[in-house]
Structure formats: structure tokens, C-alpha cells
A = this chain, B = another copy of it.
Amino acid sequence: MTAPVVPIYDRVAFIGLGLIASSMALSIRQFGLAREIIGHDKSDETRAIALEIGLCDCVFDTAGAAVEGADLVVLCVPVGAMGEIAAAIAPHLKQGACVTDVGSVKQAVIEAVAAHIPAGVVFVPAHPLAGTEHSGPRSGFATLFQNRWCLLTPTKTSTPEATARLRALWERMGANVDEMDAAHHDLVLAVVSHTPHLIAYTMVGVADHLGRVSNSEVIKYSASGFRDFTRIAASDPTMWRDVFLTNKDAVLDILGRFTEELFVLQRAIRMGDGDELYAYFMRTRAIRRGIIEAGQDTAAPDFGRVVTKKDG
């Protein structure tokens, strides 16, 4: 006999209906974590799709109307749009409501949002480390957060009760939850996500520019490493623009270290120093083993990736 499902929130409102919001909505519905799911997106087309595919019980044309009466408001807009949205919804927030977000940068979101949060409402910043290279309301799926991390960066205005309730929501959606300081979050993410994305974008851009190696060759022969970069570099341009602009200091710091390190390897290549290269590559190999042992990736060769043969 299983215990009856108890919703964690009565009414959840999503502002912005892209990959993360749609995945959360599907997950919340599947696991019965809220009684009612409300949505808003500034795009007419996205709102129409959300209604068509039944993502929300109700879709509103304005963010203010969407948050009326909601216990939990989830801001799922690009980081650069958070402040404006917070200002727009502030007068409509219910007393006792919790506002959270899913932004990839936390200090800038806190700076932009916290000042707009009225008394009697709490703000608990959050960041699920989950996503795919696809975007939009049709790209969501209920299992996106399974075994992924969600990082909460509570502020002075986050009450322990509101934080615990939000943590329960993420855990019931399948995520592992950690809490940390917003500045530390931004540095960790600069290493594990933001800088790798910028580098992948750069490498794909270099390939794109090279007249001598035509695009069709780059695409044809991409399977040898490059295609992994292109997946990363296919992520949502608006979201990533905002990430780099708002986590500037940490990204520039890590980029500086990256360039230094690259120059060391570049010099080893130029000087023909095989021992240095070999020693470096042995060290990096060990990190991969750690990730697989931590259950954060598959040990299957090539991610267990299946490529459909096109020409039969």
C-alpha cells in the first residue's frame, strides 16, 4: 500500500515556459506535487503551445495575472529579464507566497530580484543543473531532473520553512539538492558549465570561419570530437548571452586560467615536449573516472549514443 500523494503547493505559477518550466510542470503533474499549474510567457506563440499541449491548467497573458494567488512563483526567464519580471509581478504576489527562479547565475539574479520582493513574501533562489540543447515549451520532459543536482542559494530573506518546502519539491521531482552561498555557486558554475560553454561556442565558431575547411567537411567529419562541442554550442543563445554578461567576473577569471593553461600545452606541442603532454593527459583521464563513479554520467562508450544510419 502506497501513501497518498500530498501536494507540496496549492498553486504553482511559471513565468516563462521554456525547457525548464515545461519539464517542471510535467514533473509536478506526474508526481502530484501541486493542485494547480499556472503559466505565463511573453510570447503569444509559446502561450498557445502551452495551452495546446496542456502544460498548464491556465495560461495568462500577463505575468501579474499569472502569479495572483500562487503559493510558489517560479521565474523561468533568461537571467537578464529577471529584474523586470520581478518588478512586474511584485504588486500581485500573495502574502506568504514563495518566489524562486531557475537562473544559471545566482548573485546577479539576487541583486535584480530581491529588492522587488514585498514584505510577507520570501525569495529562495534555485538552479537546477539540468537541461538539454533543445528549448521551448515542447522540449520539456518529466524526468529531466532525475538524479540531477538542484542548488539552492538562500538569502537573508529566505525563511528556513520556505527553503525546506522548495527543497522537498525538487527532491520529489527526482533531484539531489544542495545549498550553497551564491558567490560560490557562481564560481563553481563558471568552471563546470559557463566556461566550457563559451569554449565550445568558440571552437564551433572557428570551424565556421575556416574557409579552407568547408562547412560541409566540418559537418561530415564531426564525429571525432567536434560534434560534442556543437551540441553544447546549440544551447539557447539568449540564455547564454545573459549568463556570460551576469557571471562576468567568475567567467573572466576561469577564462584567464584556461588561456594560461592552453598556452602551456601549446608551448609543449611547439617544443615537442611529449612527456609534459602525456603527464597532463593522464591526470585529466582520472577526473572522468570520478564522474562515472559519482553516477553523473554513463560509462557506456560514447555516452551510449545511438546514431541513426541515414542512407540505410
Query: Which residues of A pack against B, CB within 8 Å?
Result: 80, 129-134, 139, 141, 146-149, 151, 178, 187-189, 191-210, 212-213, 215, 217-235, 237-238, 240-242, 244-245, 248, 251-252, 254-255, 257-259, 261-262, 265-266, 269-270, 272, 274, 277-278, 280-285, 287-291, 294-298, 300-311
Contacts and interface: CB of A to CB of B under 8 A. Distances in A.
Contact of A295 (B188, B230, B307): B307
A278 B245 contact: no
Given A219-B287, A223-B129, A228 B237 contact: no
A224 B129 contact: yes
A101 to B, nearest CB: 16
B222 A291 contact: yes
Nearest to A277: B241
Contact of A209 (B195, B252, B261): B261
Contacts of A212: 187
A137 to B, nearest CB: 14
B301 A221 contact: no
Nearest first, the 9 A-B pairs at minimum CB distance are A295-B310, A132-B301, A234-B288, A193-B224, A237-B281, A204-B284, A233-B284, A192-B226, A196-B225
A300 B21 CA distance: 19
A287 B226 CA distance: 11
A248 B139 CA distance: 42
A262 B195 CA distance: 11
Contacts of A201: 265, 280-281, 284
Interface centre among A131, A222, A259, A272 (most CB of B within 10 A): A222
A238 B274 CA distance: 9
A287 B223 contact: no
A225 to B, nearest CB: 4
Contact of A234 (B147, B233, B285): B285
A266 to B, nearest CB: 6
B258 A222 contact: no
Contacts of A139: 301
Contacts of A282: 237
Interface centre among A193, A226, A257, A277 (most CB of B within 10 A): A226
9 contacts: A141-B301, A204-B287, A205-B265, A205-B280, A222-B291, A233-B284, A234-B287, A252-B269, A297-B305
Contacts of A194: 225
Contact of A202 (B80, B261, B297, B304): B261
Given A228-B232, A248-B269, A223 B130 contact: yes
